[in-house]
């Protein structure tokens, strides 16, 4: 269970190029494209100091996502297909303990592929169910997979995923980009899953495909009853469409669903996800194509749902958490997003169904891959890691 809001709710290593200006998307652009763009996005507060202190908890090889167990331990995915179970501190305050979880299916980790999100079922304390996403190579192409398993911790031996079930397979295409694969449980127990456009553009508007869509499912992976677009000929799983590379999804305490996604050349977005809405990709965007061709901006009356916040220059967003804890009371109802192009941690203040840029902190020049709220209200971040260095797990608490 993610301790984001309501107690539940994650692309690439350094060498790849992001279509939003960092390594989250691959594209035919220079490897350092937009990398030297540290200027805070318009509307953000250029913060010179940090209102938090940072403790290094552990480090990993290209970590991607995390989620907390009820007892405070944390599951962390690594891109190459490893799932680790970390106890940050033992009861007597001794050093962190870490175990490899066995039973993870084989993943295809080429490009942006790999083991991606991990989220506990809201009833994990009773059923021990863990949901996760990964990419696989099959006949006909590569696709994203949504799966679940039961976490077993035998008295002797390593923890393991048992009874692994494939709940959904995305549409197979050639290429290894824009899998997305983010997972969130709604307050009513429905399961939301993001399926990226796989760098294929037009399928985000195609009714017959899952590409470029937010999906609403039962917790067994079936299309949820009442999805709004099936009567219009869409796949019955589809909740909203016209998305690009959706790398964060979370509910706030009022039950609103928020999502962030990478734009093309700039134009990263934070969206309020509403049932049946078209978010415009690739027909409109506040960014442009990498070859310089213009994409029409979002405009009133264009028939598309505009983002609540967008960034130009790009931040290359990764992960999304909506804070609801006690440790940082001034941050309640704030969305936190990791930045991988302009390295740092980004805060957006939410006000009902509106949003406003607030703060952006440099994190020692590190790309941030995921953000989560711990059981005690601390803010936890995962660094992406770069070539020659591992991504650290950090715990942020109030300064002083």
Residues marked as catalytic: 178
Cβ distance 66 to 73 under 8 Å?
no
Report the candidate in 304, 387, 372, 328 with the shortest Cα–Cα distance to residue 7: 372
Report the candidate in 200, 180, 202 with the shortest Cα–Cα distance to residue 282: 202
Query: How far is the C-alpha of 104 from the C-alpha of 82, rounded, in Å?
Result: 7
Give the tokens for residue 157: 């031996």
Which pairing describes strands 354-361 and 45-46: parallel, antiparallel, or unpaired?
parallel
Give the tokens for residue 80: 């190459």
Distances in Å between the Cα of 12 and the Cα atoms of 112, 114, 146 are 5, 9, 19
Supply φ then ψ for residue 390, to 5 degrees. -100, 155
Q: Which residue do the tokens 């295409």 mark?
A: 173
Half-sphere exposure at residue 256, Cβ-oriented, CA atoms within 13 angstroms? 20
Return the bridge partners of 314, or none: none
Cβ distance 272 to 257 under 8 Å?
yes
Cβ distance 47 to 370 under 8 Å?
no
């Amino acid at each position: 269970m993610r301790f984001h809001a309501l107690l539940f709710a994650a692309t690439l290593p350094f060498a790849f190029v992001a279509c939003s200006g960092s390594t989250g998307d691959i594209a035919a652009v220079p490897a350092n494209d937009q990398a030297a763009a540290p200027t805070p996005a318009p509307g953000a507060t250029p913060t010179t100091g940090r209102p938090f202190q940072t403790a290094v908890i552990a480090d990993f090889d290209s970590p991607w996502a995390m989620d907390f167990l009820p007892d405070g331990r944390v599951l962390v995915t690594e891109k190459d297909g490893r799932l680790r179970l970390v106890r940050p501190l033992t009861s007597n305050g001794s050093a962190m303990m870490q175990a490899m979880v066995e039973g993870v299916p084989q993943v295809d980790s080429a490009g942006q592929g790999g083991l991606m999100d991990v989220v506990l079922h809201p009833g994990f304390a009773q059923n021990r169910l863990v949901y996760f996403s990964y990419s696989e190579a099959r006949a006909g192409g590569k696709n994203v997979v949504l799966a679940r398993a039961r976490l077993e911790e035998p008295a002797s031996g390593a923890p393991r995923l048992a009874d692994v079930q494939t709940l959904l397979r995305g549409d197979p295409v050639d290429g290894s980009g824009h899998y997305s694969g983010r997972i969130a449980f709604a307050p009513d127990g429905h399961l939301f899953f993001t399926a990226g456009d796989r760098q294929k553009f037009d399928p985000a508007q195609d009714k017959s495909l899952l590409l470029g869509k937010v999906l609403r499912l039962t917790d067994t992976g079936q299309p949820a009853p009442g999805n709004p677009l099936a009567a219009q000929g869409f796949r019955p799983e589809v909740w909203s469409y016209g998305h690009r590379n959706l790398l964060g999804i979370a509910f706030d305490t009022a039950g609103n669903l928020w999502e962030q996604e990478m734009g093309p050349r700039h134009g990263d977005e934070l969206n309020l996800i509403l049932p049946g809405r078209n978010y415009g990709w690739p027909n409109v965007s506040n960014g442009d194509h990498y070859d310089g061709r213009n994409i029409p901006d979002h405009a009133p009356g264009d028939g598309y749902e505009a983002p609540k916040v967008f960034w130009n220059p790009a931040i290359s967003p990764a992960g999304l958490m909506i804070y609801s804890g006690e440790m940082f009371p001034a941050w309640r109802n704030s969305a936190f997003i990791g930045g991988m192009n302009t390295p740092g941690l980004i805060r957006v203040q939410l006000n009902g169904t509106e949003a406003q840029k607030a703060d952006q902190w440099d994190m020692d020049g590190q790309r941030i891959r995921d953000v989560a709220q711990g059981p005690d209200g601390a803010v936890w971040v995962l660094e992406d890691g770069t070539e020659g260095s591992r991504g650290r797990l950090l715990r942020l608490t109030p300064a002083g």
